[in-house]
Amino acid sequence: MSEIYISTDIESDGPIPGEYSMLSFGSIALNEEGNILEKFYRKLKPLENAKQHPKTMEFWNKNPEAYKEAAKNAEDPKKVMFDYLQWLKHLKEKTNKELVFVAYPATYDFMFVYWYLIKFTGESPFGFSALDIKTYASAILKKEFKSVYKKSMPKHWFPKDIKHNHTALDDALEQGLLFINILKENKR
């Protein structure tokens, strides 16, 4: 195998980076067997002059414990993203494999991570690409994209005893193992 899958989940206070802030993110590095190689989880201080989106904050008001977890012990975004970049580079060097950003939905999570990486470090080891789990599932199931959602996917794809709880690291693990199970099914 020539790839390491970096399953990533972010939590934010709005729909787009820059105008709103990424509160926290977690990444789990997995090989194709589903073995966890390493983890990265950090919380970020809000961007200067950023706002909080009313609909997003409405969601957080319904999930106060998850919001509290996402926002506590926040650090300077520049430091967090520099540490993340170094973690990714070290992982690539250690494994001698390509890093593939994986998320559900990748368009949302990658948008924030890419923006923050470019803004605070000037580079992204992922380039411009990310693997979207829903799109991959749609192709494997041979179904139209809009008809595929978690409840329509085979139950055996989902990891047992891991529930989506809006904590970035936990959700990154859940979706990463979901992706690995879909990948394994595709290779059968």
* Average pLDDT, rounded, for the chain: 95
Mean pLDDT of the region 166-170:
94
For residue 63, give both structure tokens. 């999930």
Q: Say how many domains are in the chain.
A: 1
Which residues form the domain of 108?
A: 3-187
What's the CA gap between 175 and 158, in Å, rounded?
8
pLDDT for 175? 96
What would the DSSP string read from start to end of 118-153?
HHHHS--TTTT--EEHHHHHHHHHT--GGG--GGGS
CATH of the domain at 72: 3.30.420.10
What's the CA gap between 23 and 43, in Å, rounded?
6
What's the CA gap between 128 and 178, in Å, rounded?
23
What's the CA gap between 48 and 9, in Å, rounded?
22
Mean pLDDT of the region 57-71:
95
pLDDT for 1? 59
Mean pLDDT of the region 92-96:
95
pLDDT-derived band at 43 (thresholds 50, 70, 90) equals very high
Partners of 6 in the β-ladder:
29, 101
Mean pLDDT of the region 142-155:
91
pLDDT-derived band at 188 (thresholds 50, 70, 90) equals confident
What's the CA gap between 171 and 92, in Å, rounded?
23
pLDDT in tens, 72-85: 999 999 999 999 99
For the ranges 94-108, 121-135, 144-158, 166-180, which has the lowest average pLDDT?
A: 144-158
pLDDT for 163? 79
